[in-house]
């Protein structure tokens, strides 16, 4: 009887020992490989979704910043008789004296498409709105309007810096048509782009690409009616090739066969359209 009780008491201990031995054994190599394979499959499914989420977040942030730049242009115009930022009188010389708080710089009249940001950033309070998400931080800064300023990769359209006749091949004559145009002079505000992102940084699969003419990737555009949305620029109506807006004369080529940059060189200038009927 005692022997039987002794054996009965030992049985649970033996069972527990076997369970402990199984637990201490850990994973086999096959089980480990299966687990790693499952993890790899899950990661392969998750990474594209995570990458897509990051791309969408950067695109949304870029739209927000271009809206802010457009708002800054409007705030500047409200204080300057509806004109966009200008820093000197237009002329026919290649380099013009332009006056800023930090001194006088000499630049082309057509450089206003990027240096307009010098006048806009003081209204917005930070230079960061001038830099698209994903773009490298600017290498150079200046102080104007009491804040640090830099050029912008959100380009302001050239059509705000020349008369509409400058963007019509039948009436184009040259730099004597340079001159800032009032924002109130835009004829089709909801169809006229004022600011566009020149380079695309938020699509890592393409790298850094020129928005206007290299890939079918949407880029942020701010319109004269204060809206902003993404568009594939090279699917928009082409501009008028204008050898006086940042180009040199092209010999032996009929410029009527060449296309100008969409948005930047809108046909008929501020009286033209960049979306909708042409």
pLDDT digits (tens, 9 = 90+) for 195-234: 999 999 887 778 888 998 878 889 999 999 999 999 999 8
Of 5-19, 100-114, 172-186, 252-266, minimum mean pLDDT range: 5-19
- In the predicted model, is pLDDT for residue 50 greater than 60? no
Contacts of 135 (CB under 8 A, 6+ apart): 153, 199, 201
For 108-192, strand residue ranges (E) read: 142-144, 147-149, 154-156
How many Cβ atoms are within 10 Å of 124's Cβ, its own excluded? Answer: 18
Residues in the chain: 278
**pLDDT confidence bin for 12, thresholds 50/70/90:** low
Say how many Å lie between the first and final Cα of the chain, rounded: 106
Is residue 47 classed exposed, middle or buried when 0-12, 13-18 and 19+ CB atoms within 10 A define those classes?
Answer: exposed
10: pLDDT strictly greater than 50: no
pLDDT at position 190, please? 95
Render pLDDT for 174-189 as a digit per residue (tens, 0 to 9).
Answer: 999 999 999 999 999 9
Query: Is the pLDDT confidence value at 145 over 80?
Result: yes
Residue whose entry in the numeric block shows the structure tokens 């009286």: 271
Beta carbons of 120 and 128 less than 8 angstroms apart: no
**pTM for this predicted structure:** 0.79
For residue 1, name the pLDDT band (cuts at 50, 70, 90).
Answer: very low
232-254, pLDDT tens digit by residue? 998 999 999 988 887 665 667 78
Instruction: Round the average pLDDT of the chain to a whole number and report it.
Output: 85
**Mind listing the pLDDT tens digit for each residue in 64-90?**
999 999 999 999 999 999 999 999 999
Domain boundaries, the chain: 53-271
Above 60 in pLDDT, residue 148?
yes
The pair of structure tokens assigned to 218 is: 């949407």
pLDDT digit string (tens) for 153-166?
999 999 999 999 99
pLDDT at 115: 96
């Amino acid at each position: 009887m005692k022997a039987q009780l002794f054996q009965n008491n030992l049985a649970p201990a033996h069972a527990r020992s076997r369970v402990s031995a199984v637990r201490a054994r850990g994973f086999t190599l096959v089980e480990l490989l299966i687990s790693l394979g499952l993890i790899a499959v899950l990661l392969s499914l998750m990474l594209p979704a995570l990458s897509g989420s990051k791309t969408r977040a950067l695109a949304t942030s870029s739209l927000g910043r271009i809206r802010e730049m457009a708002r800054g242009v409007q705030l500047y115009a409200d204080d300057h008789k509806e004109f966009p930022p200008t820093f000197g009188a237009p002329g026919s010389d290649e380099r013009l004296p332009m006056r800023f708080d930090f001194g006088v710089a000499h630049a082309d009249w057509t450089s206003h498409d990027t240096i307009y940001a010098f006048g806009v950033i003081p209204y917005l309070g930070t230079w960061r709105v001038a830099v698209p998400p994903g773009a490298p931080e600017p290498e150079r800064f200046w102080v104007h309007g009491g804040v640090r300023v830099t050029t912008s990769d959100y380009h302001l359209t050239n059509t705000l810096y020349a008369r509409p006749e400058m963007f019509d091949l039948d009436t184009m004559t040259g730099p004597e048509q340079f001159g800032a145009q009032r924002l109130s002079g835009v004829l089709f505000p909801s169809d006229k782009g004022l600011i566009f992102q020149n380079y695309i940084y938020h699509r890592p699969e393409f790298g850094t690409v020129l928005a206007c003419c290299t890939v079918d990737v949407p880029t942020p555009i701010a319109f004269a009616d204060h809206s902003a949305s993404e568009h594939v620029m090279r699917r928009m109506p082409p501009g008028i090739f204008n050898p006086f807006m940042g180009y040199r004369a092209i010999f032996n080529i009929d410029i009527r066969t060449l296309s100008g940059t969409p948005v930047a060189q809108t046909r008929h200038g501020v009286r033209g359209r960049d979306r909708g009927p042409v």
